[in-house]
Amino acid sequence: MTVAPSQDQIFSPRTVLILIGVSLFAMLASILVISFGNEQETYTTTRQNSFSVSAIGHKAFVNSLKHQNIPVLISQYKTAERLAPNSILMLLEPDLNFSKPEILEKLLTHETKILVLPKRRGARRDFQNPRWLSKTYLTSYDAPEKILKMVDPLASIYRPYHPRKEKSPPEEDLKTSPEEKTDLEKTPNESSGHDLGEVKEEPLDWTVTKIKDIPDLLNPQLMRSDKIEPLLATKDGILVGMMFGDLGTTIVISDPDILSNFGLGRGDNAAIMQYVVDFLRVGNNTIFVDETSHGFTRNPDFIRSAFEYPFIFVTLQVLIFTVLLIWATAQRFGTPQKTQPALKPGKAVLIQNTVNLLNAGDHKPEILVRYVDLTLHAMARRLRVPRHLDEADTIHWLDEYGRKHNVHMEFRVIKHRAQMLNSKTGPRSHSFMDVVHDKPLLQIALHLEKWKQEMLDGSGTDKLNQ
């Protein structure tokens, strides 16, 4: 059975229970989504960063760390100020187009870090999938060398199968030289991460192998340095090296293909990266992956976060509850309404209530007959009719009295009309036609009242005490 809300209630008890149930379900669903839901893609990008699923992106490598339950924090806000003393900083192909050199130099002062030099750029996106690339190319030598010289000013980059051409102007550091673009920009092959024009030469001779695994690279990029201790190198240059000094412990990786999405699964590349991470980690150190050097900045503002996934669900619930609260309490503001009395003063209310009761009973003819009888007895007492007379003789006595005093109506006729009306009237439904049916009753009652007044004094002014 549904309980209807009272005038003071906005919602019925059933509606309140439904709202509470829906709210609890939504809250539980939000908790489950936040706790166990898949991580939402934050950006759609094809560049070399941890959000990118393109061939040159780093998302696969970062996810592999997370799957090993290694604490990973992708930093997009003031990375240098948030680094913990024992944490590991990863600078994966920092881009000087998005990061100022002084900020990158400050990050390089962290105690433990991994620096991966840039090598490739994406030429254009794939039209069918905007998260993929349809073409890639090698950067000029200056792009990785500028970053390498921040840790060793005398170091240099060497590409065995693409020797250095004439140096590009400084403003074109991050662009591809015309010679390189002619050789590399041909029909793309996204699955392999390189162009079909790139031909893999004979395998390199890895003479320095403190890391026992052998990499599988396309057009490898090496570095030459006297300060960087080689961990994996050939006689021509270093692929993975380590530095100790004022900048702390730094592992430098010259070729990013070893950890990119297309290269991580080739040969022993994943094992080499696992070795590098395990070499630096002590205990359960957090790994900070800096994305500010790729132009990703996000201020950890509470208001902004409240309207982002997954906290938007909680925000919507709060807004809905706020609206319902305002709705439920709106009628409580302002001057209190005056309470209307249950009954108005005076006799009119009592008379009206009596009329309503009589109408509800639907016994008006019977009541009229009873009223006629009561009037008969009252007039008999008033006019001192002999008590030994029965009803018929009493009516005859009163009618004779009326003729002597010029009364226009006889009581016998009034009583006969009332009895006839009562005998002809059956049960009736309450409707507008009741007013029409009540007209004969009112006429008889008026005739009875007029007869009574004329019997008493002929003027109708004398009052009958009943």
Residues of the chain with pLDDT under 70: 1-11, 30-44, 123-127, 165-202, 299-310, 330-337, 361-362, 424-437, 458-466
pLDDT for residue 274: 94
What tokens does 35 get?
């706790």
CA atoms of 160 and 148, how far apart (whole Å) = 18
Neighbour count for residue 453 (Cβ, 10 Å): 17
pLDDT for residue 264: 93
pLDDT for residue 90: 93
Report CA 227 to chain centroid distance, whole Å. 55
pLDDT for residue 188: 35
Beta bridge partners of 90: 114, 289
Buried-exposed string 186-220: b where 16+ CB fall within 10 A, e elsewhere = eebbbeebbbeebeeeeebebebeebebebbbbbb
Alpha carbon distance, N-terminus to C-terminus of the chain: 51
pLDDT for residue 126: 61
With contact defined as beta carbons under 8 Å apart, do 38 and 44 qualify?
Answer: no
Beta strands at 120-125 and 133-138: parallel, antiparallel or unpaired: antiparallel
Report CA 264 to chain centroid distance, whole Å. 38
Beta strands at 112-116 and 249-253: parallel, antiparallel or unpaired: parallel
pLDDT for residue 351: 79
CA atoms of 176 and 156, how far apart (whole Å) = 18
